[in-house]
């Protein structure tokens, strides 16, 4: 009948029947006419005498069922247009009628007509736009759509965010430098003043005697205690040294953190004069056009590595 490639290509669709050509349509019309005549004769024989009933009872049950089914399906010419395909049940009914009537010529003609025909499969209906959508599914789709839009927005505004971060880093650096400078001034002064007032009680408690008499030997003519002044100055200097060490340590850690962050980020343009051997060379032809390769008219400047090799 038909090739198996057609059924494989439409495996996801349901089989409707056989495509009708002129030969199949004629077989359908002839079989329907035979079935209609048989139904009329059977109806008339049921109302006649018993002798007619005896002749009707000799008919084949299979043939009667096939003709009844074919008559129930209706005439192929009842519509304004010729049908495009024939159902498998109709084809089976026609074949049964021919076999029961032992009409070999009709069977051969039917087989020849089927060889020139093809299978017909149903086309799946597209999903209706008005079908009910699950609210949970709709919320999930809305959330995914918002995430996609947010990702696109971040990609578009990535450069603006980087500039904003650079401005924040500059402001934070200035604030940090001002706080460190103020701390290096205030901390020694406050600690020196504290030790100045605190040292008097210590000297009075631990050092007693004539050699440490405050009224005679340890005071200037203006009444200033030299020991307390020396202790305050030395304490302030020590505190300043400690603050400087802390500043150096914190600055080194910050620079190390910034260097690692730039290394992880990658692709960032370095300031003027900060280049490494991995920095790509950029050439210009004098008109503002830049490229990664030298032009034939301008040539290229030798790099430091080439100059060192020539000198060697």
| Best CA proximity match to 69, nearest among 107, 108, 36 | 36
| Per-residue confidence (pLDDT) for residue 195, from 0 to 100 | 86
- d(CA 243, CA 184) in angstroms, rounded, equals 6
Terminal C-alpha separation, the chain: 88
| Per-residue confidence (pLDDT) for residue 278, from 0 to 100 | 58
- d(CA 265, CA 254) in angstroms, rounded, equals 16
| Per-residue confidence (pLDDT) for residue 269, from 0 to 100 | 47
The pair of structure tokens assigned to 54 is 């005896």
**Spatial contact of 177 and 214, defined as CB atoms under 8 Å apart:** no
How distant, in Å, are the alpha carbons of 86, 167, 244 from that of 82? 11, 79, 102
| Per-residue confidence (pLDDT) for residue 10, from 0 to 100 | 41
Residues 6+ apart with CB under 8 A from 30: 106
Tokens 């934070």 label which residue?
172
The pair of structure tokens assigned to 2 is 């038909």
Residue 170: exposure state from Cβ atoms within 10 A (0-12, 13-18, ≥19) = exposed
Q: 19: helix, coil or strand?
A: strand
| Per-residue confidence (pLDDT) for residue 260, from 0 to 100 | 83
Query: Could you say which residues of the chain have pLDDT below 50?
Result: 1-11, 49-59, 210-212, 214-218, 267, 269-274, 294-303, 306-307
**Spatial contact of 87 and 79, defined as CB atoms under 8 Å apart:** no
Q: Is residue 85 part of a domain?
A: yes
Domain that holds residue 27: 4-121
Q: Is residue 46 part of a domain?
A: yes
| Per-residue confidence (pLDDT) for residue 238, from 0 to 100 | 92
Q: Is residue 216 part of a domain?
A: no
Q: Is residue 181 part of a domain?
A: no
Q: Is residue 101 part of a domain?
A: yes
Give me the number of domains the chain comprises.
Answer: 1
| Per-residue confidence (pLDDT) for residue 58, from 0 to 100 | 44
How distant, in Å, are the alpha carbons of 138, 139, 259 from that of 135? 5, 6, 50
DSSP secondary-structure letter at 83?
A: -
Which residues face 15 on adjacent strands? 121
Tens of pLDDT, residues 232-283: 889 889 999 998 898 888 888 888 887 887 777 664 544 444 455 555 665 5
Sheet with 85-86, strands from edge to edge, namely 85-86, 15-19, 119-121
- d(CA 61, CA 38) in angstroms, rounded, equals 13
Angle between helices 226-265 and 158-206 (to 10 degrees): 160
């Amino acid at each position: 009948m038909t090739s198996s490639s057609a059924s494989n290509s439409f495996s996801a669709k349901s089989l409707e029947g056989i495509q009708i050509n002129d030969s199949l349509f004629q077989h359908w019309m002839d079989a329907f006419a035979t079935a209609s005549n048989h139904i009329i004769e059977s109806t008339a024989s049921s109302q006649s005498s018993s002798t007619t009933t005896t002749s009707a009872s000799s008919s084949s049950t299979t043939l009667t069922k096939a003709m009844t089914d074919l008559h129930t399906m209706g005439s192929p010419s009842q519509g304004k247009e010729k049908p495009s395909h024939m159902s498998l049940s109709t084809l089976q009914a026609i074949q049964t009628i021919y076999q029961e009537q032992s009409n070999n010529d009709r069977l051969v003609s039917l087989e020849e007509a089927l060889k020139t025909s093809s299978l017909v499969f149903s086309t799946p209906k597209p999903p209706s736009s008005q079908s009910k959508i699950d609210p949970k599914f709709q919320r999930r789709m809305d959330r995914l759509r918002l995430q996609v839009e947010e990702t696109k927005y971040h990609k578009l505004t990535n450069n603006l965010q980087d500039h904003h971060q650079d401005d924040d880093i500059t402001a934070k650096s200035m604030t940090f430098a001002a706080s460190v400078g103020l701390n290096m001034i205030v901390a020694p002064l406050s600690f020196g003043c504290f030790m100045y007032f605190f040292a008097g009680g210590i000297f009075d408690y631990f050092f007693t005697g004539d050699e440490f008499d405050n009224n005679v030997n340890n005071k200037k003519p203006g009444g200033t205690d030299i020991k307390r002044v020396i202790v305050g100055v030395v304490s302030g200097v020590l505190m300043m040294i400690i603050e400087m060490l802390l500043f150096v340590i914190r600055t080194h850690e910050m620079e190390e953190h910034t260097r690692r962050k730039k290394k992880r980020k990658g692709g960032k343009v370095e300031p003027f004069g900060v280049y490494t051997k991995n920095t790509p060379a950029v050439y210009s032809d004098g008109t503002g056009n830049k490229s990664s390769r030298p032009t034939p008219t301008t040539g290229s400047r030798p790099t430091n590595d080439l100059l060192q090799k020539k000198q060697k």
